[in-house]
Structure 1
Amino acid sequence: MKWQSALAIYMLFWAFSVFLVLPFGVKTSEEAGVDLVPGQAQSAPHEFNAKRVMLRTTIVATVLFAIFWLNYMFGWVTADMLDWAH
Structure 2
Amino acid sequence: MSWMAWTLPTAIFFATIAVILIVMTVYEVRSPCVERKGFLPIETSRGDRLFIGLLTSAYIHLLYVGLTEMTLWIALGISCVWLFIVMRWG
TM-score scaled by length of structure 1:
0.37
- The structure whose residues are more often helix, as a share, is 2
- If asked which structure has higher relative contact order (CA below 8 Å, sep 6+), I would say 1
